[in-house]
Every structure is written in structure tokens, then in C-alpha cells.
Structure 1
């Protein structure tokens, strides 16, 4: 007996009231008919499903043949997965691959044989005009060759949440299917993680269209339109720009910000305070992202969150013994996390430096503070030593201050004072000095004098002389022959 697929998995979810269609994205899809695969790959909450549903709705108006399949964890079983794919295609193309369903209950599963039958049916469908496709599929096509027309429309197979079913066995069948699709048949896949498919090969052949988080992000203009249409909030341009910057266009964050905004009269003030520890944002990220991760990745995420920028060797240093014990390098971990779309943003084309999405980083830091507050100074201390070894003084000082190791921070500042002064970065140095306890600054003539110079540059002349007097007194108190600073 053939497996059965829940009917609800074959229908796209209805677009919510107030949904904002974005022609800049759907327009790209209309121009992608040379692609075998359109890959929509982005983290949770970037509107992938809604984007696919919007594409489906607009393509229906153009009379394309459309097959939709929503996946869940049960679809990791190959028989269930391919039953769903074939059922979706048969719903879009009646009569396609008749009789293959029984084969999907066989053991061993004849996936390649089933797909050959499906591909033959798709090839027959794509060769004849719309009005004759039904007869062709059922073997009763009597149209003379001279009267046949070229097909006018495309067939799209849309698979939502592919990451829930992705495994090596299913990937093998998907590669076979996608490589042999007729030119008028395309697959559109949404996923939270890049699938186990030869993307680089298809990219080189220009057979792959990629829509990623950077493309799905809301612009400031779209943010204004969204809040006005859905939440009835008339955002000013500056407010929309600030909110877009804080959320980095992350759609789920904008939706949750809309919930948080209810009852607030001070919109600008709310946006200024909006961070990843907002209760709605925090709950979403904890449930949808952090709780789904293996212990090793979860630990890496929390501990590396003390860093504003991440690179493999730096992460190894910060993880310390954990990196040695696990045997997994920071570089390989970052590469895996990028494939998994864990809110990681590359900062260069070589994929050497990354940063976390700002709200995601806020959430991770809030969680780290809640779970392991005693570890935070140690993580910053490790980062400070790594940056010092790389001659990156500003970063080394910043992490020493974050670790509350004020003696180390003062020492690093003394070493960097001449260069900072030469580069005219007085404001930066003055900010560091403000973070040091007065007693630490007072014990260092170098820092005291530098503070005097910085105050002079800032025009605060009344405070210059007391600092110079203090520096002179400290130097006078040092015994002759003592080389300490």
C-alpha cells in the first residue's frame, strides 16, 4: 500500500493580513528561469516561508504549474520524503508518473528508478503546449508534429523547510533529480542551513540562484511600509533607519518589535533601548535557535559572544581547554556555523573574519551572563592576550578593561600611548582612561600625563595642571634606580 501524505503539507500557508509583498525579490525569481535550483537560505525568522508563499501566489496569476511541499522531521525517511515530492508534482501535473507510488514502499527503496519515471513524465509535459499536456501524459497525444507549439509556462517544485529532512541519502536523490530536470522545470528550496548539494558546481554553471539573509532583510523603506500597514505605527524616516540598523532587517525582530511597541508613546526612546534581551526577542531566539543546537555548538556560541569580531585562531584562544578537548578548531566551527546560518555575518571575502547579528549577540551575552557570569572575565582575558600577540593594541586593551584587569589594561595603554598620540586618537584613549579607577591612573605617570594632554586637546584646560602636578609627584616618589613605570 502506498504511503499517504497529509494534505496540509501540499498547500502553502496563507499569507497573513497586512503581509508586505516585495517585488524586488519576486521580480528576481521571475528572471531565474535558467536556474535548476533557487536556494532560499537564511536563519530562523527571515521570512523564507512567507517569501515562497508570496512567489507561489504571484506565479498562480501567471498560470505556471506549481507544486508545494512543506517538510517536517518525519521526512528524513527517504520513502516519506520522495512520496511527498511525487505527490506534490502529481498534484501540479495530473497523471505524472502513474504507478510509482507502490514502488516507494519497496525494500530496498528504488529511488533512482522512481525518479527516472518522474523525469520522463516531466520531459513529456514540457515538450507540448498546455492544452495537450494531459493527453500526452496519458499516451493519447495525436497532435501532428507540425501543429505542436513550444510550451509557454514553467513548472516550479517548492520545498519548504528542507533542512528538516536533509541527509546524505536524500541528497543523493536530489542531485540526481536536479541534474536531469527539463529546462522548464525548476526547484525552489527554503532552508535554515545550506543543503548537502553540489552548490559550487551549479553556481559555476550559473544554474543556481541564491537568495540569502542579506537579500531577505527589510530595507528602511520597507520597514516604514510594514509598520504602517501591520501595526498602524507611522515611523519617521530616522526611526525606521535606526530600527533597521538595530535589527539588521531581520523580519522576526521587526515583528517582535511591533508587539513590544504596543502601548509605547515614545517610539524613538523604545527603539533606542531595543536590544536582544527584549523579552520577545529573547524568547524567540532561545526557543528557535539556541535550544536546537548541540551542546558543543551552544557552548561555542555563548563563550565566543564576548568577541565583537571572530576568527578561527582567536576563537581557539578564547575557548581555551574546551577547543583542545573537543578537537574541533575555531575555523572549522565557524565554517560549519556559517553553513548552518547561525546569524553569522562574514566580514571579508576570504571568510576569515565574522561577527554575529547584533541582536543575536545581545541574546548570547545575556544568556552567558545568566548562566556563567564567573567565566566572562576569563574569556575576555584570553582574548586580550591573543590580540596583544597579534599587535592589535586597541582590541587587547578593550578586552582587558572588560575583564576588569585594570593593571593589565594600564600596562597595555602605556605601551600604546605613543602610537595613539601619533595617530591623534585622543578621544579613544581618554575613553579608556575613564574606565580605569583613579588610583590605577594616578600610579602611572605616563597615563597621568597623557590624560593631561588629552584634556588639553579637548579644551578642558582647568584640569590639565592638576594632572601634571600628580604625575610629577608620582615620579618623584620613585626611588633612584627603580625601573618600574
Structure 2
């Protein structure tokens, strides 16, 4: 054994066996890899990266070398020893003594095949290490018939702009891996063999935002349970689910530097974040850089626009809210929500402000915004309605309309019609009341047979089908 080398761990160079739902949409993206030198799959923990890579590697009709990186592989010699072992398993006997990028590239040159694939999973564990720099050089030096496919929770420190400009980089991100609503339906119907009602599917897709681990954790928690118990677990998903909390604590929060963890927990009271709002809320500076770092690390942080706006994944944010409550206590947490609501209102983020005020139980502020900005609030996303108490939902006509639209979007059409009717009754003959009546009648056309479809969008669609 050479000085500084380490024993190769055989399990790290074997393609893992996976059993998963075939997703043609994602597979078609990855099948384009042969047009590129490097494929990069970057997404947060639990997004299905390893499953995707393992499934692709197992089905490939070319030789595949597999290597799963770990943090103690940071030395160049350790990386090269594992890569040599991986290539030997895929290509057959190759020269030993891979003590540099040059000797590794030279050892691969005699291979006479047309195409081969090297898959490297968990590259983020080698961040800022000599091994990461070595891999970047190997991409440049290896024979052109070798394609590199990399999975990571964060963008590597490669010169990615050069790869992009040269057309050598295929990028697949968290949005590509997110389960769409019809994929969630197929997952539970065809793979788990436990189909869910349409309204539960819609709520599960919304609460998890298609996060693969969240869907699997929900399945594990509900398998064999009654419909009532399944519904209770669905309602608690993200905030009180033990499995979700354990997963996010171990795989996300515990791996962060203290400053980033503190920032995440303290700012979870806001569903819309910018550097300036976070600076004002925390009475500090540098928040924009921290938000950018969270996005770079793929810590469930997504840019919402090109003006510096961000949001946290809803499952993570719900978990962080529970952590905040445990660390600050109920009274201080409520104060934090109210302060966040004020800052969000000042910035014009009204739906987000209503949600923060509601979490802080500042009902006077909620009532003020609804009375003066009800119509404008309904133009934004409807998730803030979840934060309101049921009694308030039954009293305010704007909330009734928002609730009706929410039911409609999630497939609960009869509940939507009932909410529309309640809102109509309170709005009366005002413009808002006429809007309620029009939307209710369009929806009712799908549920109640009519002698002749109307000429609105619903009626025209009924004629077509």
C-alpha cells in the first residue's frame, strides 16, 4: 500500500440496488447525459438523487463505475484509490498506482470501449477538499469516451461557467426531482399499493411540495393505518411528525455551521425572505449573503425572483417553527411572529404578513388587513389561510372566498360551492358577491347536469369533452 493511501471500502464502489417508481419525466432528462461531458444532479437531502443515479446506473447499457464519496475521502490518494477500484470493476483490469491525475488518465487511455460512465454520489462531502480539486482535473484529463454523472447537495467548486459555456454540462435540480401531483398519485397507487383519495393526494403534494423523503415518511407513518389516523398524520405532517423531525434534524440542521442554523431557525417566522427584511428583523447585516449560502448548499431554500427574494420549503419551515418554539418559548415566539408580520406588511407582502400576524395571534392586525386589503390578499397564494382559526374563516367574507378557491384548487368541489354560497350571502350584490356567484356557477356546472352548457370557460370545456 502506498504512503498515505487508505483501504478501499468495497461497498462504496458497488452500484446500490434500488426499488423505486419509474418516472419517465425525470428519466428523459437524465437520458440526455450522453450529449454532455458532465451531468450534475444537485438537490437537498431526501430529494431522490441517489435513487435516481442508482436506477440510471443499473439500467445503463454501457460500463458504469460507481463511487459514493464520504467526508474522510478528502485526500487525493484516497479518492484515486476508490476511483481505480470502481473503474476496474466496470472496465476490467487496468494499471495500478494511481498516484496523480496524470497517471489515472494515462491508465484509462488503453481502454478500447466507445463509451463509459462514472457516477459519483454525495460529492458535497468532499467540498473544498483536495479530492474535489482532483476530480475537477480528472474531468479535463480523462479520455473523451468517459462521461461523469455527479450527485450532490451543493454545487461543487468546479469552474461550472466554463462547462456551461462550452455546452458540456447537464444540470438537473430540485425542481426537476420534485414529484408532481400525478406522480404522487402513481407513487401511492402503483408503487406503495395504497391509493389515497384525491383530496388527500392534493394536500399531501402541497404540504410536502413533492419532496421525495416527505412522501416516503408519510407512507411509513400511515401504512396499515385507518383513514381517520392517516388524515391526522397528514394534518401534522411537517410540524409534529416524529419521522420528519428526526430526518430533518439529523440530515439538515445538525450538519450546518452554528451561524446558518441560528439564522434558519430565527427567520422561519417569515414565508417570504429578503436580505433587507431579515437584516431589519434580526437587527444585523449580511443576511443576503446567508440566504445565498443556504441556496447554494441546497438547504431547502429557493429563490423566488431575481430581486433577492427567497422562501424556505414548507416542510422544513414547519419543522423550524417547532424548533423555534422549543428554543424561545411560546411568548417570545409569538412576539417574533408579530414583528415579522409588521415588517412583511411594510414591504407589501400582505398574504405573508397575514400569516405571520396569525401565528403571532395578533387578530387586530389580521382584521385590519382583511378589512382594507381583502381583495388584494386573494390575488396572492392561499396557504396563509391555514394559519387562521376556523372561527375567523366563518366570519370574514374575503376569507370565505379564499377558502372556496382553495377547496376548488384541491378538488373539494362541493365544499367549495358551500363556501362560495356563504361568501355570496355576506357580500350581497357587491362586485365581490357577483364574482362569488360567477365562480360558483362555473364550478357547479361540473357537478350538476345542465340542459345546455354555458359559454363561459367551464361550459366551453364541457362542450369539448
**Retained in 2: the 8 A contact 1:218–1:249?**
yes
1:94 to 1:335, Cα distance in 2 relative to 1, 3 A:
same
Is the counterpart of residue 208 in structure 1 residue 205 in structure 2?
no
Equivalent of 1:241 in 181, 186, 202? 202
Hey, what does 1:363 align to over in structure 2? 319
**Retained in 2: the 8 A contact 1:33–1:184?**
no
Hey, what does 2:59 align to over in structure 1? 58
TM-score of the two chains, using structure 2 as the length reference:
0.74
Hey, what does 2:267 align to over in structure 1? 304
* Cα drift, residue 424 of structure 1: 9.7
Equivalent residue of 1:232, what SS? coil
**Retained in 1: the 8 A contact 2:12–2:67?**
yes
* Cα drift, residue 311 of structure 1: 1.1
More off after superposition, 169-178 vs 353-362: 169-178
| Deviations 1:280-336 (CA, angstroms, capped at 9, x unpaired) | 11121112111222211111111111001111111112222xx35xxxx11110110
TM-score of the two chains, using structure 1 as the length reference:
0.71
Distance across 1 between alignment mates of 2:146 and 2:201 = 40
Equivalent residue of 1:31, what SS? helix
Equivalent of 2:69 in 64, 68, 71? 71
1:461 to 1:399, Cα distance in 2 relative to 1, 3 A:
closer
**Retained in 2: the 8 A contact 1:47–1:251?**
yes
* Cα drift, residue 74 of structure 1: 1.2
Hey, what does 2:147 align to over in structure 1? 186
**Retained in 1: the 8 A contact 2:181–2:205?**
yes
Equivalent of 1:90 in 80, 88, 91? 88
Is the counterpart of residue 117 in structure 1 residue 117 in structure 2?
no
Distance across 2 between alignment mates of 1:217 and 1:205 = 28
Distance across 1 between alignment mates of 2:43 and 2:158 = 16
Q: 1:460-475 counterparts in 2 under 5 A?
A: 460=426
Q: 1:315-394 counterparts in 2 under 5 A?
A: 315-320=278-283, 323-324=284-285, 329-348=286-305, 350=306, 352-373=308-329, 374-390=331-347
**Retained in 1: the 8 A contact 2:63–2:116?**
yes
* Cα drift, residue 158 of structure 1: 0.8
1:7 to 1:417, Cα distance in 2 relative to 1, 3 A:
closer
**Retained in 2: the 8 A contact 1:47–1:252?**
yes
Structure 1 unpaired stretches of 5+: 105-113, 131-150, 436-455, 463-485
Hey, what does 1:22 align to over in structure 2? 23
Structure 2 unpaired stretches of 5+: 393-421, 429-465
**Retained in 2: the 8 A contact 1:384–1:397?**
yes
Hey, what does 2:219 align to over in structure 1? 258
1:9 to 1:293, Cα distance in 2 relative to 1, 3 A:
same
Aligned residues: 390
More off after superposition, 4-13 vs 241-250: 241-250
* Cα drift, residue 201 of structure 1: 2.3
Hey, what does 1:148 align to over in structure 2? none
* Cα drift, residue 57 of structure 1: 0.9
RMSD of Structure 2 on Structure 1 (CA):
3.4
1:372 to 1:460, Cα distance in 2 relative to 1, 3 A:
same
Runs of 4+ in 1 over 4 A off after TM superposition: 391-398, 404-410, 416-425
| Deviations 1:392-419 (CA, angstroms, capped at 9, x unpaired) | 5665565455444567777x65xx9666
Equivalent residue of 1:362, what SS? helix
Distance across 2 between alignment mates of 1:397 and 1:216 = 31
| Deviations 1:71-111 (CA, angstroms, capped at 9, x unpaired) | 22211222212221222123322343x2424xx3xxxxxxx
Distance across 2 between alignment mates of 1:45 and 1:53 = 14
Q: 1:135-214 counterparts in 2 under 5 A?
A: 151=114, 154-214=115-175
Q: Which has the larger radius of gyration?
A: 1
Equivalent residue of 2:167, what SS? coil
Equivalent residue of 1:331, what SS? helix
* Cα drift, residue 223 of structure 1: 2.2
Hey, what does 1:140 align to over in structure 2? none
